[in-house]
Amino acid sequence: MLRYVFFSGKGGVGKTSMACATAMHYARCGEKTLIVTTDPAANLSDVFEQRIGHRITPVDGIPGLFAMEIDPDIATREYIEHAIEPMREVFDGETLSVVQEQLSGPCTVEMAAFEKFIDFMGETGYGKIIFDTAPTGHTLRLLELPVEWSRHIEESARGSGQTCMGPVGLIIDNKRKFDEAMAKLKDRSLTDFVFVMHAEESSLSETIRSMDELRAIGINTSRIIINSLIPAAEAVHPFFRAKAEAQNAVVKKAEAVFAGLPIEKIELLDDEIKGINMIEKCAERLFKGGACNEKY
C-alpha cells in the first residue's frame, strides 16, 4: 500500500502547496500522516500558520497530521558528526580534519537531508509520509559514492585481517539502511514520485530532464501536476486569454510527452495557498472532491 509521496519540481511551482493538500487529504481520511520538508525556507510554518521547526509537531486543526521542517544546518551538523564518529578510533586528527573539510561542501547538506529521509523511511508508525521536495537524481547518485567507499573499507578490512569491525560494522549498517530506502524509493506500490510544474516551456523541459535523471537510477515518476493554470472563465481579457492559450499549448505538449502518466491540472486560485481553508480548496481539486477511496 502506498506509503511515501515525494514532491519534485523547481522552486515556486507549488510543491509545498500540493504536498500540504495531499497530507491534509490523507489525514482527513483517517491515516496518521507526517509531512516533512527539507526546504531551507521552512515554509510549512507559513502554510499551516503555526511554528513547526526541526521536530515533529502536530498540526493545529487537522487531527492525525504531523509536520516537521528539517533544519539543514542542524541536519548537516548531525550528519558530519555521524559520519566522522566511526573514524575517530581509526584515524589521526589530521586525517579527520581533512575528512571534515571534505564534508563541508553543498553536497553534504543534500546528503544530510537525505539521511533524514532515510530515517523517515524506516519504521515510523505513520501510515503516510509526504515529502515536500524530493531528493534529485543528482543527490541520489552522490549517495552511491559513500557506498562504494564503504565497500572498499569492508574489503580491505577483510583482506588485511584487521579487526576494525566496530566502525566497519557501523558503515555496513548505514549501507543497509540506505539500500533499504533505495529499494522503497524504487517500489511503485510503496512510493509515489510526483512532479509539479507550471505550464511553461522552461518548466516542461526542466521536468523532463529531472525525470530522466531519476529514471537513470531506477526511479519512475508516478504522476504530474500542472499547477497555476488560468481558469477558462477568466481567460476573457486579451492579456489572460493570450496567457491561457500559451499555457494550453504547453499542457498539450506535456500530455504528449508524458503519455500514460496521470496528469492533474490545478487552476490558479484567487489567493495564495495558506491556512486550512485554502489548503482544503486545493485538496478538493487534487482529490476530486476529497473521496478517500481514490488514490488521486
Report the interface residues with Mg ion, using CB under 5 A. Answer: 15-16, 39
Residue type, 179: D
Which of Mg ion, ligand ADP, none interacts with 222 (beta carbon under 5 to 8 A by kind)?
none
Q: Would you say 118 or 278 has its CB closer to ligand ADP?
A: 278
Q: How far is the CB of 213 from ligand ADP (least distance, A)?
A: 18
Q: Are strands 65-69 and 4-8 parallel, antiparallel or unpaired?
A: unpaired
Q: Which is nearer to ligand ADP, 19 or 83 (CB)?
A: 19
Query: Within 10 Å of residue 71's Cβ, how many Cβ atoms?
Result: 18
Residue 276 · residue 203 · CB < 8 Å: no
Min CB(41)–Mg ion separation in Å: 6
Which is nearer to ligand ADP, 121 or 266 (by Cβ)?
Answer: 266
11 or 161, CB closer to ligand ADP? 11
Q: Which does 72 bind (CB under 5 to 8 A by kind): ligand ADP, Mg ion, none?
A: none
Q: How far is the CB of 103 from Mg ion (least distance, A)?
A: 26
Query: Residue 272 binds which one of Mg ion, ligand ADP, none, with CB within 5 to 8 A depending on kind?
Result: ligand ADP
User: Which of 62, 11, 51, 53 lies closest to 283 in space, CA to CA?
Assistant: 62
Which partner in ligand ADP, Mg ion, none is near 165 (CB below 5 to 8 A by kind)? Answer: none
Nearest to 33 by CA among 130, 114, 121: 130
Number of neighbouring beta carbons within 10 Å of residue 231: 12
Interface positions with ligand ADP (CB under 6 A): 9, 11-17, 43, 227-228, 266, 268-269, 272-274
CB of 269 to ligand ADP, least distance (A): 4
Q: In the bound complex, what is the minimum distance in angstroms from residue 265's beta carbon to Mg ion? A: 20
Residue 15: CB minimum distance to Mg ion, A: 5
Is the CB of 14 or the CB of 64 nearer to ligand ADP?
14
Binding site partner of 228, from Mg ion, ligand ADP, none, Cβ cut-off 5-8 A by kind: ligand ADP
Pick the closest to residue 138 from 208, 217, 221, 38 (CA basis). Answer: 217
C-alpha to C-alpha distance for 236 and 269, rounded to whole angstroms? 17
User: Minimal distance in Å, beta carbon 47 to ligand ADP?
Assistant: 7
In whole angstroms, the minimum distance from the beta carbon of 134 to ligand ADP comes to: 11
The candidate with the shortest Cα–Cα distance to 9, out of 91, 132, 114, is 132
Q: By C-beta, is 78 or 267 nearer to ligand ADP? A: 267
Q: Which is nearer to ligand ADP, 44 or 140 (CB)?
A: 44
Beta strands in the chain (DSSP E): 4-8, 33-37, 57-58, 65-69, 128-132, 191-198, 223-229, 263-267
Nearest-10 Cα torsion for 248, 202, 211, 193: -60
Residue 52: CB atoms within 10 Å = 22
Using alpha carbons, select from 170, 161, 163, 224 the residue that is nearest to residue 198. 224
Candidates 62, 74, 75, 67; CA nearest to 24 is: 62
Find which of Mg ion, ligand ADP, none residue 169 binds, CB within 5 to 8 Å per kind. none
* Residue 266 binding: pick among ligand ADP, Mg ion, none (C-beta 5-8 Å cut-off by kind): ligand ADP
**Helix and strand totals (H; E) in the chain:** 11, 8
Question: Of 16 and 221, which CB lies nearer to ligand ADP in the complex structure?
Answer: 16
Alpha-carbon distance of 171 to 167, in angstroms, equals: 6
